[in-house]
Structure formats: structure tokens, C-alpha cells
Amino acid sequence: NQDGVFGAQLSGAGMGGCAMILVDKKKRDTIKNLINDNYVKYFKKKCSISFCQPVNGLSIYSSI
């Protein structure tokens, strides 16, 4: 458990993969630094971190 992390999921781990992590916006820089620091310690190289903002889902519009 990490303060500010609501959940996480690995994707494509067989080919290097990525982790999708749902975080508290107020804690994102702290979590980013924690991930970067531990990744470098373990893998001896830097990782890439991108932040995404969720948006409304798919909508279908039709004209009559």
C-alpha cells in the first residue's frame, strides 16, 4: 500500500510492459519520484512516466 495510490495494473509485462496507476492528483509528484528512484535502483536505467486525465466515455450521436 502506498499513500495516494488507489489502484494499479500491469499490462504487456512479457515485452517490457507498463503499469497503469490511478493516483491522487495531489500526490502524483511524490509517487512519480518514488517510482523513478526505485526503478533506477532495481534496473539501473530510467523509466518513462506519463500522466493522463480521464475524459467522458464513448458517445454515439445520430441524426433523425
Which pTM does this prediction carry? 0.71
pLDDT digits (tens, 9 = 90+) for 17-45: 889 999 999 999 999 999 999 999 999 99
Q: Using CA atoms, how far apart are residues 23 and 54, in angstroms rounded to an integer?
A: 12
Residue 12 has pLDDT above 90, yes or no: no
Domain boundaries, the chain: 5-43
Per-residue model confidence (pLDDT) at position 31: 95
Residue 57 has pLDDT above 90, yes or no: no
Q: Give the pLDDT band of residue 16 (cuts 50, 70, 90).
A: confident
Query: What region does 12 belong to: left with phi over 0, alpha with psi -120 to 50, or beta?
Result: left
How many CA atoms lie less than 13 Å away from 62 in the CB half-sphere? 2
